[in-house]
Chain A
Amino acid sequence: DAGVTQSPTHLIKTRGQQVTLRCSPKSGHDTVSWYQQALGQGPQFIFQYYEEEERQRGNFPDRFSGHQFPNYSSELNVNALLLGDSALYLCASSTFGTGGNTEAFFGQGTRLTVV
């Protein structure tokens, strides 16, 4: 049983470019949440997807968008990249409605470097 998988593991992009990160949730999970973690900081909630819709959003600009597919996998897109977007991007999967009642399973993250 595969856990949460994220791709790619590392990525280098130039300012102004666009990037797409991918996440496959743990088997049996239907909800994907995305987090941004800057160096030395805690993960910051970006948004959450369930039933192919964005259900909640953190304090991130519209440059950050996402998508969820019928197989529950998800993409995170960031447009017009800024140097400050350099971070570890984490995907977490869970079952909708359980909220903080059960553990979230995290992928190993995608390390994005913007130069």
Chain B
Amino acid sequence: SQQGEEDPQALSIQEGENATMNCSYKTSINNLQWYRQNSGRGLVHLILIRSNEREKHSGRLRVTLDTSKKSSSLLITASRAADTASYFCATDAMNRDDKIIFGKGTRLHILP
């Protein structure tokens, strides 16, 4: 079963614009992670934010976490063609059972 759910399911923006994707989850978590997947290949880890953190930056990426609303957002600034990919949020569970559960993803397409 899916823990997280990304919104929107698909997003097309012009190169240079900012892209924002949201993730909502159901149960309490220790950490939330964002991954990128290019065209049906393996997943690449982007950023991890802990439940006691509210915001985290990594290069052009900014992630926020609101545990009261059980939601997170991923902002990619100054988008590039190479950012075209699917983006997934993944959460663990408070019982620390060691598995991470993925949402259905947002398919981002950067238009030239």
Given contacts A56-B98, A59-B1, A99-B96, whether A105 and B45 have CB atoms under 8 Å apart is yes
Of the residues B90, B98, B104, contact of A55 by C-beta under 8 Å: B98
B64 within 8 A of A: no
Name which of A11-19, A37-45, A76-84 contacts chain B: A37-45
- Give the one of B41, B43, B102 with max A CB within 10 A: B43
Residues of B within 8 A of A43 (CB): 43, 88, 102
Judging by beta carbons under 8 Å apart, are A99 and B30 in contact? yes
B29 within 8 A of A: yes
Judging by beta carbons under 8 Å apart, are B97 and A90 in contact? no
Task: Count A-B contacts at CB 8 Å.
Answer: 82
Q: How many residues of B contact A (CB 8 A)?
A: 31
A100 within 8 A of B: yes
Q: Which of A72-115 contact B (CB under 8 A)?
A: 88, 90, 92, 94, 96-109, 111
B44 within 8 A of A: yes
Judging by beta carbons under 8 Å apart, are A45 and B101 in contact? yes
A24 within 8 A of B: no
Residues of B within 8 A of A106 (CB): 35, 42-44
When C-beta atoms are compared, the residue in chain B nearest to A103 turns out to be B45
Given contacts A59-B1, A108-B42, whether A102 and B99 have CB atoms under 8 Å apart is no
- Of the A-B pairs whose beta carbons lie under 8 Å apart in the complex, a sample of 11, sorted by A's number, is A31-B98, A39-B40, A42-B102, A43-B88, A56-B97, A56-B99, A99-B96, A99-B100, A100-B100, A106-B44, A108-B41
A interface with B by C-beta (< 8 Å): 4, 31, 33, 35, 39, 41-45, 48, 55-56, 58-59, 88, 90, 92, 94, 96-109, 111
